[in-house]
Structure 1
Amino acid sequence: MVKNKLIQDGGQKTRDNFFRKTLSKKVVKPSTSGEGSDDLFAKKRPFNKNKWRSEKYSFKNKLENWKDKRTEYIRHGYYKEQNREKNKFDVNKIYEEEERREKREDEDTEQVKEENGLKRHKKSFKERIQEEKEAKRAEFLRKKAEKEEALQKYQKAKMEKFKKLNKKTKRGQPVMKGRIEYLLEKIQRSVSDT
């Protein structure tokens, strides 16, 4: 049996066969005489299985982790609540301030008008909105009444047409008089439209 020969080949070991292995590169450590070099290249501590087991499986450690997470959660909620109170947006307060401002403006304008001998009532914001709502409601009711009236008119015409076209004799034969009258009316309408 012939042993495979190792050949140095540009940083790689190659064998006569098709398998290849790379050379392991050694890390060159700087000399320990320089200051601070001990911290950089300290030896790796051996694995402490006892410590790992206690951290992974002990109830005490799990309880401490839970307490830490809980305090972090409570702290987060506290800061969130403080931030919410800072940025609190009170709509009622804004409306009250707006009403006070409008009252002051109304009083000022009334005083000026009284001085000039003219006294007119200036409408407040709420009154204007209420009037607009009433106008919209009246318009809506008017349109609704028109639609209902048009629908009744259409249904009445449809019933008359149905009665004319569906008249039958005693023996169940269709009466042609009503059908011919309906066709004549239809032709007359089309001629008058064009």
Structure 2
Amino acid sequence: MEGKRDSFFLTNKKHKQDINKNQDNKKQVKQKQFDKSRNGLNDDEKKEQKEKKPFDKKTYRLKKYSKKYKLEQWEEQRKKKMLHEYKKSMKNEAVSGTYKPKSFDEDMTDSNNVVGKFVRHPDFLEKELKVKSQKSKDPFLKAKEQHNKVKQEKIEKQEAKKKAQEERNQKLQEYKKKKHERFKKLSKKTKKGQPVMTGRLELMLEKIQSSK
């Protein structure tokens, strides 16, 4: 029994020694790693840093003005804009659960039957009918109205343009007529080739009168 007991204790001691050795090995490994990191980068990493490529302007520009880069930039801007708009809308949004008191005419009973409803003002009823008719408009009619409106605007624009053109032409004709008359008066000459002074004097008189 004693021999067995001794063997049991001996094995335990050996096991403890093995654990201690493993712990020492781990400590040594950790120490080595720490020393490496303390010294800085490894030689390979240092070489890589030294052998960095110089700044290439051409490749940078190609990247900057490429479609892909532009699309990415545009996407980022769009996201920012959407976020900004969402935050803005959240700020301006009315608080849910706010109570707006209704007037007597607007108020209605729970029953849907005609009997038992409050008496409503005729003006208010007309207004309601108008709103309903606007809401329940046929999309085809809406499109037709829009088309007619655009057509009418186009016609009005054309008419205004035509009118302005006519006025301009009229003014031009008047100016040309005046110019022709003036030229006639100035170019009048006698048989001997001397200028006739009456026309010139008339023009001078007109000029003096207009300046006054």
Structure with bigger strand share is 1
Q: What range is the shorter-chain TM-score in?
A: 0.3 to 0.5
Task: Report the TM-score, using the length of structure 2 for normalisation.
Answer: 0.37
Task: Report the TM-score, using the length of structure 1 for normalisation.
Answer: 0.40
Structure with bigger helix share is 2
